[in-house]
Amino acid sequence: MLKGLLFDLDGVLTDSAKYHLQAWNQLATDLNITLPPEANQQLRGRSRLDSLNLVLSYGHQENRYTSAQKAAFAKTKNQMYLHLIEAMTPADILPGISDLLAAAKAAHLTMVIASASRNAPVILTRLGLAEQFDGIVDPATLHRGKPDPEIYERAQALAKLNTTEVAAFEDAAVGVSAIKAAGQFAVGIGDPAVLYQADYIVPSTAALKLEDIQRAYTTWLERKE
Ligand code: G6P
Ligand code: MG
- When pLDDT is cut at 50, 70 and 90, the band that residue 225 belongs to is confident
**CB of 44 sitting under 6 A from ligand 1:** yes
pLDDT at 157 over 90: yes
What's the pLDDT band for 218 if we cut at 50, 70, 90? Answer: very high
Confidence grade of residue 129 (pLDDT, cut at 50, 70, 90): very high
**Distance of alpha carbon 6 from alpha carbon 12, whole angstroms:** 11
47 lines ligand 1 (CB under 6 A): yes
Which residues are CB-contacts of 191 (< 8 A; sequence separation ≥ 6)? 203
Mean pLDDT on 62-91:
97
**Is the Cβ–Cβ distance between 114 and 152 less than 8 Å?**
yes
Residue 19, pLDDT score? 96
pLDDT at 102 over 90: yes
Residues lying with their CB under 5 A of ligand 2, a single-atom ion? 8, 10-11, 45, 171-172
Who's near 129: CB < 8 A, 6+ residues apart? 13, 90, 93, 101
pTM (two decimals): 0.96
**What pLDDT score was predicted for residue 224?**
85
pLDDT at 20 over 90: yes
What's the rounded Cα separation, in Å, for the pair 89 and 73? 28
What is the mean pLDDT of the segment spanning 142-167? 97
pLDDT tens, position by position, 160-216:
999 999 999 999 999 999 999 999 999 999 999 999 999 999 999 999 999 999 999
* pLDDT exceeds 90 at position 65: yes
**Is 45's C-beta closer than 6 angstroms to any atom of ligand 1?**
yes
For residue 172, give the ligand nearest its CA. 2
pLDDT value, residue 143: 96
Task: Give the pLDDT confidence score for residue 167 in this predicted structure.
Answer: 98
Pocket test of ligand 1: the residue of 13, 43, 47, 76 to mutate, having most ligand atoms within 8 Å of its CB, is 47
Decide: 45 and 146 in contact? Cβ < 8 Å.
yes
Per-chain mean pLDDT for the chain: 97
Q: Is the ipTM of this complex over 0.90?
A: yes
Closest listed ligand to the CA of 50: 1
Instruction: Taking residues 77-105, report their average pLDDT.
Output: 97
Mean per-residue pLDDT for 74-92? 97
Q: In testing the pocket of ligand 1, which one of 18, 44, 46, 144 has its CB within 8 Å of the most ligand atoms?
A: 46
Would you please indicate which residues are annotated as catalytic (active-site) residues?
8, 10
CA angle 162, 177, 172 (to 5 degrees): 115
Q: Which of 171, 86, 94 is nearest to 123 (CA)?
A: 86
Return the ligand 1 atom nearest residue 81 CA. Answer: 14
Exposed, middle or buried by CB within 10 Å (0-12, 13-18, 19+), for 151? Answer: buried
Query: Residue 176 has what pLDDT?
Result: 98
